Structure 1
């Protein structure tokens, strides 16, 4: 990261400091945001290319954006509240995401063809529900911090009426609260006037990781009348083994200490004796891994790489985590290892998103083609 040092007279410094204080940000963060807004304005004026426009909500580090840009889209708005994710996003896309979505006026969001949102999954994930239950805390829509954020997506859809949208979440969303949560989500989207296509897909067909996620694709009934020809992609590639994403040289700091390795083995043995399946995941290098989670930074136990006789297993490096999610090696990692593990664990399988995005665009294009040809064919 580069630094710029500038001199300001006292009056300008005070005015900027006061504005930063009003927004609850530091002076440095305020100036960075202002510079990024200038870049964003410039990009919107000079880069109008793109087959379609889209917005990226709950953007994380931009995994969804990569997939939609790959099939010709132009991102016109981004929202992500986590400051570390914002830093990674800015470094890779040149855009500083807007912050808290609950404070964003939908009217101020640019018009767009496709809305993309990987709204927070912790309230619905198996791990998230278990943890909140153990703490006596609410989950799902009763989780005031995250569960109701779906309705912010809904209010933006209602205001901006994108032609289509893609929502992504954990597989458990469908069965959470005996299916009531998912029923509310679907009914809300249908009442807004969208036909829905729902599928559960595993990232293992695109990367060497077992990662099941639910996808909800919606098309505006006012535009397509429910006649869109969308279909989820059928995997055609043979799954790659996890050894294909491993680095040839890895720092010893990623090797588990004797203390941690002994603890993980004892923990697994204890639960096995009690008939539970909890324990570390030592990877078969010819196969695929378990699901990478945001907690990977804690001990790496769900995905451990064997290193041969006499050496403890190791964690994946952040770059290997990026590869496991299908990010290109050109993607910049500009945060600490702990934050990088969280970011990639919370992200998406980029090639799977690309495949879904491609089918969404094909359906949009096909409908327009049929609409043009239909009058000609009836002559």
Structure 2
């Protein structure tokens, strides 16, 4: 999805993922002549062709996520950040250091190990010879999905900083309270290399979640009335009230729903929690106990429910309907739930990357 967001103005030199199913999907849409499906630790210098202008890294979030086990950058999955750093070092030693590095991950990166992991990332970028800053971007600015993500952007220190891309102070909404707090917690030696990236706000989003919903999805089916009643029976009084309000509105209301485990009176119970605010909840991968998102359509006294379709998840990520998805539901859901929203990358590329990379034909990533 980062590839889709960068657009046609960029040439991709190398794409890498260790997941064979995701790699197969990438190949189906973009080709496999520049794709390596393997653990990043196994890449060799000769696997990295040319001199890239941009290197984008979305390293696993499980050990940094607030819902994860808290292993941080020392754990096996999120710890793949360090082989990534090693490869940038290899490129630098070979005179091919990229002009720009972009790192994408969950907001838990800011607070993991009380800020020590965030400081470690900044220190690694400094030691590689880069200035760096970060922005928090919620996909909800562009598409109807609540999906805040941290994007760390680093510029090679020997390159000129163009006018208008960096300011003296934080800028809303890109630098929220959590990011400002994380910056304040950095040692002074790391703050000296910090940049407050500046970007314009996108146009106000008009697209609603209801606009993306399929009446006749191919990847899933509408629940039986019995299954829908079972979902309603799992709702708390607060969530049932939301359904009643939707019924009373007299218009078609489309909401999204997650099943979550809550502790009530000392007992764990599974609850169905719904929202009718025209925004989908954050897509997650259907693994590790995470539930898959459902939708609920209320039209007067009629209530229907089902799993969100894979095409709907792709639309929530900003992918066009022409984008080829895996046929199996879980594979397609995993692909979209583990990605970065396309218009988020497009906004970064248009207002930051393309200004930071020295002007020339065919930028390389």
User: How many residues were matched structurally?
Assistant: 295
Could you tell me which residue of structure 1 aligns to residue 251 of structure 2? Answer: none
Contact 1:296 1:302 in 2 (8 A): no
Could you tell me which residue of structure 1 aligns to residue 345 of structure 2? Answer: 353
User: CA separation in 2, counterparts of 1:251 and 1:332?
Assistant: 14
In the TM superposition, residue 252 of structure 1 has moved relative to its aligned partner by: 9.3
User: CA separation in 2, counterparts of 1:344 and 1:202?
Assistant: 16
Could you tell me which residue of structure 1 aligns to residue 19 of structure 2? Answer: 82
Greater helix share, structure number: 1
Question: Are residue 333 (structure 1) and residue 270 (structure 2) matched?
Answer: no
Q: 1:261 to 1:296 in 2, by over 3 A?
A: farther
In the TM superposition, residue 212 of structure 1 has moved relative to its aligned partner by: 0.3
User: CA separation in 1, counterparts of 2:40 and 2:234?
Assistant: 40
- Larger-Rg structure: 1
Question: Are residue 101 (structure 1) and residue 66 (structure 2) matched?
Answer: no
Q: 1:264 to 1:177 in 2, by over 3 A?
A: farther
User: CA separation in 1, counterparts of 2:155 and 2:16?
Assistant: 22
Could you tell me which residue of structure 2 aligns to residue 289 of structure 1? Answer: 280
In the TM superposition, residue 357 of structure 1 has moved relative to its aligned partner by: 1.1
Question: Are residue 156 (structure 1) and residue 147 (structure 2) matched?
Answer: no
Question: Are residue 205 (structure 1) and residue 136 (structure 2) matched?
Answer: no
In the TM superposition, residue 300 of structure 1 has moved relative to its aligned partner by: 5.4
Contact 2:104 2:151 in 1 (8 A): yes
Could you tell me which residue of structure 2 aligns to residue 54 of structure 1? Answer: none
When the two structures are superposed, what TM-score results if normalisation uses the length of structure 2?
Answer: 0.72
In the TM superposition, residue 301 of structure 1 has moved relative to its aligned partner by: 5.1
User: CA separation in 2, counterparts of 1:348 and 1:277?
Assistant: 32
Could you tell me which residue of structure 1 aligns to residue 314 of structure 2? Answer: 322
In the TM superposition, residue 142 of structure 1 has moved relative to its aligned partner by: 2.7
Could you tell me which residue of structure 1 aligns to residue 4 of structure 2? Answer: 66
In the TM superposition, residue 227 of structure 1 has moved relative to its aligned partner by: 7.5
Question: Are residue 245 (structure 1) and residue 182 (structure 2) matched?
Answer: no
Contact 1:264 1:301 in 2 (8 A): no
Report the secondary structure of 1:184's partner residue. Answer: helix
Note the residue ranges of structure 2 that are not aligned, 5 or more in a row.
92-96, 167-197, 237-260, 361-365
User: CA separation in 2, counterparts of 1:332 and 1:282?
Assistant: 30
Q: 1:274 to 1:342 in 2, by over 3 A?
A: farther
User: CA separation in 2, counterparts of 1:299 and 1:141?
Assistant: 22
Contact 1:201 1:214 in 2 (8 A): yes
In the TM superposition, residue 197 of structure 1 has moved relative to its aligned partner by: 1.9
User: CA separation in 2, counterparts of 1:274 and 1:209?
Assistant: 32
Cα RMSD over matched residues? 3.0
Q: Deviation string for 1:30-81 (max 9, x for gaps)?
A: xxxxxxxxxxxxxxxxxxxxxxxxxxxxxxxxx00111124x1010111011
- Candidates 102, 110, 121, aligned match of 1:166: 102
Report the secondary structure of 2:307's partner residue. Answer: coil
Could you tell me which residue of structure 1 aligns to residue 222 of structure 2? Answer: 255
Q: 1:293 to 1:330 in 2, by over 3 A?
A: same
Greater strand share, structure number: 2
User: CA separation in 1, counterparts of 2:111 and 2:206?
Assistant: 28
- Candidates 44, 56, 62, aligned match of 1:116: 56
In the TM superposition, residue 267 of structure 1 has moved relative to its aligned partner by: 5.2
Could you tell me which residue of structure 1 aligns to residue 250 of structure 2? Answer: none
Contact 1:123 1:147 in 2 (8 A): yes
User: CA separation in 1, counterparts of 2:16 and 2:219?
Assistant: 37
